[in-house]
């Protein structure tokens, strides 16, 4: 099992990356030994793109990823992010001012134990700071050798255009999956016009599209408890849709999660999803999906089984929803 490569902007990466967030927060308790073994297995399988952020586990995730890549840095495309400075029930505090950008890269590099990162994303666009200021400060980091390429996450088409005029943007990381298709109307064509690669996050719908989640998460620390899609009646409604996806997958001898990943990957050669897991078993299942070829009729069948507009509930609670698409 080896994974092919794809281009995002000027970068060549494995056709699927590894999301590391869940190793330190969000989806149930992690285990450092298995998490590091998962990163190592990913590298062994040819996965080169590793995704973290300063905010994941309040820095603990960058430290974990740093330990995992120690001695294995060559060939790794290490991506991290800044911008979610605090979280509260009313929503996140977003910062994109130049002073914050300059301060955060040094903190991230210190936690990672690296002298540079390959891809540095603004995690959200700060509505109170011109995006030109944010990207101008990010561009200074390229000149200083601390960062190789720049990215944005959950940005609007207009912000992407303005940012790209200051410094080339290599990648746009936004949520994209069978149940989250909001980027398709404006953001995607803008990225394609500008030669910006797409890195879909939560391509497995935070685990939901695998069909292996059979009850609403209820642990306080689980991010999904705050997401309307995962609550009560919405959960039951949405679970029935995933059952149809599972049936389709079984007919084809694959899993629902693999179909969901193959569908994202089929969106174009400039698309590199980053499914997240902290377990080698899931990783191997996910990587195997990178070589699944879907025919037009497969895609039609998948979209008929799990149409985006059939799912109930917003992807984020109101406060987080206000921070996306800026
Ligand atoms: N830019 C942003 O704002 C943003 C937001 C969210 C995430 N991200 C990034 O994107 C990455 C991926 O997104 P995500 O982790 O939120 O969601 P995801 O990849 O859609 O799903 C992750 C969840 O699915 C489970 N899972 C993974 N593979 C599985 C399999 N084969 N079978 C059954 N369950 C499986 C994981 O379980 P285990 O945890 O038990 O392994 C975890 O609970 C993150 O790690 C993070 O780096 C970025």
Mean pLDDT per segment of 10 residues, for the chain of length 326 residues? Answer: 91 98 94 97 98 97 98 96 92 96 98 98 98 98 98 98 98 98 98 98 98 88 92 94 97 97 98 98 98 97 96 93 92
pLDDT the model gives residue 51: 98
- Spacing, Cα 26 to ligand 1 middle (Å): 9
- List Cα–Cα distances, 276 to 23, 52, 78, 121, 206, in angstroms: 8, 10, 15, 17, 8
Task: Tell me the pTM.
Answer: 0.98
Ramachandran bin of 169, using left for φ above 0, alpha for ψ from -120 to 50, beta for the remaining angles: beta
- Rounded distance from Cα 278 to ligand 1 centre (Å): 9
As a whole number of angstroms, the distance between CA 190 and CA 92 comes to 26
What's the chain look like in SS3? CCCCEEEECCEEEECCCEECHHHCCECCCCCHHHHHHHHHHHHHCCCCEEECCCCHHHHHHHHHHHHHHCCCCCCCEEEEEECEEEEECCEEEECCCHHHHHHHHHHHHHHHCCCCEEEEEECCCCCCCCHHHHHHHHHHHHHCCCEEEEEEECCCHHHHHHHHHHCCCCEEEEECECCECHHHCCHHHHHHHHCCEEEEECCCCCCHHHCCCCCCCCCCCEHHHHCHHHCHHHHHHHHHHHHHHHHHHHHHCCCHHHHHHHHHHCCCCCECCCCECCCHHHHHHHHHHHHCCCCHHHHHHHHHHCCHHHCCCCCCCHHHHCCCCC
**Substitution candidate for ligand 1 out of 117, 173, 202 with most atoms within 8 A of CB:** 202
Structure confidence at residue 307 (pLDDT): 96
The pLDDT assigned to 232 comes to 86
Residues 72 and 75: their CA atoms lie apart, in Å, by 8
The answer to whether the CB of 61 is under 6 A from ligand 1 is no
For strands 91-94 and 84-88, give the pairing. antiparallel
- Does the Cβ of 262 fall within 6 Å of ligand 1? no
Q: Does any ligand 1 atom lie closer than 6 A to the CB of residue 40?
A: no
Cα-to-centroid distance, 199 and ligand 1 (Å)? 13
Task: Please indicate whether residue 19, judged by its CB atom, sits closer than 6 Å to ligand 1.
Answer: yes
Tell whether ligand 1 has an atom less than 6 A from the beta carbon of residue 16.
no
* Closest residue to atom 14 of ligand 1, CA basis: 202
pLDDT at 1: 66
What pLDDT is attached to residue 146?
98
Choose one of 17, 18, 19 to mutate for the ligand 1 pocket test, by most ligand atoms within 8 angstroms of C-beta.
19
Q: How far is CA 226 from CA 13, 90, 241, 242, in A?
A: 33, 12, 21, 20
Active site residues: 56
CA distance 111 to 162: 31
């Amino acid at each position: 099992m080896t994974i092919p490569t794809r281009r995002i902007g000027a970068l060549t990466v494995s056709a699927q990356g590894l999301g590391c967030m869940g190793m330190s927060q969000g989806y149930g308790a992690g285990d450092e030994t298995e998490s590091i073994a998962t990163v190592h297995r990913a590298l062994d399988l040819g996965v080169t793109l590793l995704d973290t952020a300063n905010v994941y586990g309040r820095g603990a995730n960058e430290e974990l990823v740093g330990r995992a890549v120690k001695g294995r840095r060559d060939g790794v495309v290490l991506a991290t992010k800044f911008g979610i400075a605090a979280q509260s029930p009313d929503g996140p505090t977003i910062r994109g001012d130049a002073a914050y950008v300059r301060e955060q890269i040094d903190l991230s590099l210190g936690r990672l134990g690296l002298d540079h990162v390959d891809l540095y994303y603004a995690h959200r666009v700060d509505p109170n700071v011109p995006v030109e200021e944010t990207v101008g400060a990010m561009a200074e980091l390229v000149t200083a050798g601390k960062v190789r390429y720049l990215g944005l996450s959950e940005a609007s088409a207009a912000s992407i255009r303005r940012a790209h005029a200051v410094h080339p943007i290599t990648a746009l990381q936004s949520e994209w999956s069978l149940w989250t298709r909001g980027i398709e109307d404006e953001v995607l064509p803008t990225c394609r016009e500008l030669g910006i690669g797409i890195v879909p996050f939560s391509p497995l719908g935070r685990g939901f599209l695998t069909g292996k989640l059979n009850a609403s998460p209820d642990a306080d620390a689980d991010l999904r408890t705050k997401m309307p899609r995962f609550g009560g009646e919405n959960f039951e409604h949405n679970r029935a849709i995933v059952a149809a996806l599972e049936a389709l997958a079984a007919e084809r001898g694959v899993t629902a999660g693999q179909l969901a990943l193959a569908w994202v990957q089929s969106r174009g050669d400039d698309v590199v999803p980053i499914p997240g897991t902290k377990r080698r078993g899931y990783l191997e299942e996910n990587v195997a999906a990178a070589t699944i070829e879907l025919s037009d009729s497969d895609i039609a069948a998948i979209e008929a089984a799990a149409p985006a507009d059939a799912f109930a509930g917003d992807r984020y609670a109101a406060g987080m929803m206000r921070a996306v698409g800026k």
